[in-house]
Amino acid sequence: MLIKKPDPIKASEITPEPIYRNRRLFMQGLAGSAALALSGGAAAIPAYDLDADAPRYPGPDWLQSKLRAGARNEALSTAEKPAPYVNVITHNNFYEFGTGKQDPSRKAQNFKTDPWSVEIAGEVDKPGTYALEDLLQPHGIEERIYRLRCVEAWSMVIPWMGFPLGDLLKRFGPTSRAKYVAFTTLLDPEQMPGQGGFFSTLDWPYVEGLRMDEAMHPLTLLAVGLYGNALPPQNGAPFRLVVPWKYGFKSIKSIVRIELTESMPVTTWNQTAPNEYGFYANVNPEVDHPRWSQATERRLPSSLFSPNIIDTKPFNGYGDQVASLYSGMDLRKWF
Amino acid sequence: MVLTPERLRRLALWWLVFLLPLLPLAWLVERALAMDLGADPAQAIVQFTGIWTLRLLFVTLAVTPLRLMFRWAWLQRYRRMFGLYTLFYAVVHLLAFATFILGWRPDLLLRELSERPYIIVGTLALLLLIPLGVTSTRGMQRRLGPKWAKLHRLVYLIALLAMLHFIWQIRSSFQEQLIYGLILAWLLGFRLWKRRRRSRGARRQTA
Ligand code: HEM
């Protein structure tokens, strides 16, 4: 649902003053989402200055209350300045909706993200298919501000709302044979025009995977929101992965299936161009992609006056937390 | 000088052909000034100028086939303009890349120009365009004589390099590359076909 710009009539003209003031405080706090403003309440997420005319995505009712209860996890959030909301929702690589950066924000607006169900399959004690609402029910949502480093050598800072993937996996009882986790995006060429193409080099649906210890790592997030609102469809609504120390393509969007497996899953980009995209895809300034140097990145939004080039850090700056997962591995070979 | 209707028509046509190829650039500048190129204006500008370089190159290459097919003799006069615009857009494309993406950092320039195959062939295409631009004047044409035509056959190599530059950027869809590739195949195929017909005709005459 899109919420339009605020009405040109001043709210103070039609609303009793105390309520108005309350609401204004609230709107400052919660991104001015009109739908949220109507339901009132306190802002748990710190104030965001969202671009006034950018669309808002409040999400289904059941999600709104969860989002509102969420607070920022300061310990796991970067202090860097998040990219403006409008940039986060209009600069997306989501090839199911087209290969241009702005294609997803144009073509995904009618993407149906509610109701949504997710299948948990493979090496778990309790496989099954669950409505997203039920799947998320026991999990509290928190905010994490992460760096996102795209393999195309640009990066953004994004305030996600979500919860650790590990918490979810534990609930379903991984068996001793569970060594990897495979994720699958929705396959629906009717809604996702990019999947119908004769010209596509990718096999749909999109599949990504993690090793079990990567999946259980506390930084690995299942996101359902950003900037205090629900995930916009172009950002992978209603349910996506965020793995901040890996290139962005690992952070699969619009997940419908999570399967625990014994062998390493065949993942989409790795299968398409194994010499360009590894299974691990850890951010590594020392291993270049044939098209992009990975030694530096352009932090977006960049302006024409400053390309905003910064040095890329190993593991996207999360090395202290995750480097130990790969001790003893040759990261040039396992790129 | 008297402005006869014929001369007036020619003048108007010249201005039209002169101004038309500037429209894409004008549009781009307008978008850029309005800050309406998204989160990554640098990439948007490089992609836009790149595709227009290729399009103008194709327009230049289309002059001869169109002239022959539709007997548009007047078109020939504008071939040089299209060629120079191709060079112009290629230079803007390169400058945009060096300025907005690499910030003129010497280490990054050196790295991109030496390590990325698709950048190397793009640069080669641009470098080869320069002598063609320099020798595009009527005076040079006269001075070089038959060598001029030989030199300007480089444009076919340039087109192939530019196409390779584009093909090497395929990620998940080759639709655009296929369309441009088919157009180029036609532009070059037309010439081969003409040449074969000509040489066959010549052989028949000598036999
Ligand atoms: C005659 C010369 C050239 C032609 C015809 C040409 C054409 C193109 C085309 C068609 C594209 C794809 C645009 C798109 O994706 O829509 C492109 C992209 C690009 N070109 Fe060129 N190019 C030329 C020279 C160069 C040179 C000299 C450089 C740099 C040294 C260069 C650097 C790039 C880069 C970096 C991109 C990719 C932008 C991105 O997608 O991130 N090109 N070019």
Note the pLDDT tens digit of each residue in A19-31: 333 333 334 434 4
Using a CB-CB distance cutoff of 8 angstroms, which residues of chain B are in contact with residue A154?
40, 43
Element (H, E) at A155: strand A154-164
Mean pLDDT of A66-91: 93
Helix (H, G, I), strand (E, B) or coil at A219: coil
State the pLDDT confidence band at A162, using cuts at 50, 70 and 90. Answer: very high
Note the pLDDT tens digit of each residue in A189-239: 999 999 987 788 899 999 999 999 999 999 999 999 999 999 999 999 999
CB nearest B38 (choices: A91, A95, A199): A91
Mean pLDDT of A134-163: 96
Does A298 sit within 8 Å of B40, measured CB to CB? yes
Q: Is the peptide bond before B106 cis (omega within 30 degrees of 0)?
A: no
Note the pLDDT tens digit of each residue in B138-176: 999 999 999 999 999 999 999 999 999 999 999 888 899
ipTM: 0.86
pLDDT on residue A26: 39
φ, ψ of residue B114 to 5 degrees: the values are -105, -20
Query: Does the beta carbon of B107 lie under 8 angstroms from any beta carbon of chain A?
Result: no
Q: Does the pLDDT of residue B68 top 80, yes or no?
A: yes
Mutate to test the pocket of ligand 1, among B165, B168, B173 (most ligand atoms within 8 A of CB): B165
Helix (H, G, I), strand (E, B) or coil at A241: strand
Tokens matching residue A221 = 């997030």
Q: Does the pLDDT of residue B2 top 90, yes or no?
A: no
Q: What is the rounded CA–CA span in Å between residue B202 and residue B197?
A: 9
State the pLDDT confidence band at A35, using cuts at 50, 70 and 90. Answer: very low
Q: What is the 3-state secondary structure of A23-55?
A: HHHHHHHCCCCHHHHHHCCCCCCCCCCCCCCCC
Q: Does the pLDDT of residue B121 top 80, yes or no?
A: yes
Helix (H, G, I), strand (E, B) or coil at A159: strand
Domains delineated in chain A: 14-326 (3.90.420.10)
Question: Which residues does A contribute to its contact with B (CB < 8 Å)?
Answer: 83, 87-88, 90-91, 95, 99, 101-102, 154, 156, 194, 197, 199-202, 272, 288, 290-291, 293, 295-296, 298, 300-304, 306-307, 309
Q: Is the CB of B94 under 6 A from ligand 1?
A: yes
CB of A240 within 8 A of CB of A92?
no
Cβ-count burial A287-298 (b if 16+ within 10 Å, e if not): ebbebbbbbbbb
In A218-327, beta strands by DSSP E: 221-226, 229-230, 240-242, 255-261, 296-299, 309-311
Neighbours of B174 (CB within 10 A): 16
CA angle B58, B62, B67 (to 5 degrees): 165
Query: Does the beta carbon of B41 lie under 8 angstroms from any beta carbon of chain A?
Result: yes
pTM across the whole model = 0.87
A281 CB contacts (<8 Å, ≥6 apart)? A151, A246, A247, A249, A250, A269, A335
Give the Å distance between the CA of B122 and the centre of ligand 1. 6
pLDDT on residue B200: 81
Q: Does the pLDDT of residue A56 top 50, yes or no?
A: yes
Note the pLDDT tens digit of each residue in B19-45: 999 999 999 999 999 888 888 999 999
Query: Annotation-wise, does A144 bind a ligand?
Result: no
Query: Annotation-wise, does A92 bind a ligand?
Result: yes
Where is pLDDT greater, at A49 or B16? B16
State the pLDDT confidence band at A49, using cuts at 50, 70 and 90. Answer: confident
CA dist A297 → A150, A245, A320, B4, B35 (Å)? 9, 14, 20, 60, 22
Amino acid of residue B176: E
Helix (H, G, I), strand (E, B) or coil at A230: strand
pLDDT on residue A45: 67
Radius of gyration of chain A (CA): 20
CB nearest A301 (choices: B39, B105, B174): B39
Q: What is the rounded CA–CA span in Å between residue B44 and residue B47?
A: 5
CB nearest B175 (choices: A101, A156, A199): A199
Ligand 1 atom 7 nearest Cα: B50
Q: pLDDT > 90: what percent of chain A?
A: 71
- H runs (alpha helix) in A137-207: 165-171
Helices B106-115 and B117-134 cross at an angle (nearest 10°) of 100
**B30, B95, B173, best to mutate vs chain A, most A CBs in 10 Å:** B173
